[in-house]
Amino acid sequence: PVPTPTPTPDASQFGPAPKLGGNILKVYPEHGSTVTQASTRSPDPSRPGGICAEVSFEGTPQYGQWFRMAVDGVEVTDRLTWVIPTRDQPQNGRVCYAPLEGLQPGKHEAALAVQDPLNPNAPTKQVVGWAFMVSE
Write out pLDDT tens, residues 45-100: 677 889 999 999 999 988 899 999 999 999 999 999 999 988 888 999 999 999 88
d(CA 41, CA 131): 17
d(CA 100, CA 79): 11
Residues 117, 50, 39: CA angle, nearest 5 degrees: 180
pLDDT digits (tens, 9 = 90+) for 98-131: 988 899 999 999 999 999 999 989 999 999 999 9
Q: Determine if the pTM surpasses 0.95.
A: no
Cα separation values, 41 from 15, 52, 67, 110, 112, Å: 25, 11, 21, 15, 19
